[in-house]
Amino acid sequence: MSAPSGTGPGRVLVAVYGIFALAATSRAAVQIATRFAEAPLAYALSAFAGVVYIVLTVALARNARRVAVAACLVELAGVLVVGTLSLADSAAFPEATVWSGYGSGYGFVPLALPVIGLLWLLRGVRRS
C-alpha cells in the first residue's frame, strides 16, 4: 500500500491545487458577475476548471485516490481540448480561460499539473 496522497511531497501538490482552486474560482466568479456576456464560454470554462481544482484539492487532502485520479483525467482532457480549441478557434475564446493555450497564461502549470498529479497518485500501484 502506498502512502496517503496528501503527505510528504503530496502536500505540495495539495497546496498548488489549493492555490489554483482559489485563483480559478475567484477569477471566474468576478468575470461571471461583471462581464459574463463578453465571453460566456470562456468564463464558464474557467468556473468549471475552478471546480475541478477544488475537487482535486479535497480528494488529495483526504486520500480519495479514485476521485483524485478521475479529476486529474478530467483536468488533463480539459487542458488538452480547451487548449487545442482556443488555438484553433480564437474567436470562440475572446477571453482566456485557465486552460486556454494549454495554460500558457499560467506558465503551462495547468498542463503539467495533471501529469504530475497522476504520476504521484499512481506511483507504487501494483500491476497484475
Cell of 14: 495539495
Cα-trace Rg, the chain:
15
User: Which cell is 39 given?
Assistant: 465571453
Q: What is the pLDDT of residues 10-38, one digit of tens each?
A: 899 999 999 999 999 999 999 999 999 99
pLDDT in tens, 65-123: 999 999 999 999 999 999 999 999 988 888 888 899 999 988 999 999 999 999 999 98
Question: Would residue 66 be called left, alpha or beta, if left means φ above 0 and alpha means ψ between -120 and 50 degrees?
Answer: alpha
pLDDT on residue 128: 42
Predicted local distance difference test score (pLDDT) of residue 75? 97
Q: Residue 71's closest CA among 100, 114, 107, 16?
A: 114
Q: How far is the CA of 90 from the CAs of 32, 87, 100, in angstroms?
A: 20, 6, 9
Cα 125 versus chain centre, distance: 23
Give pLDDT, residue 17: 96
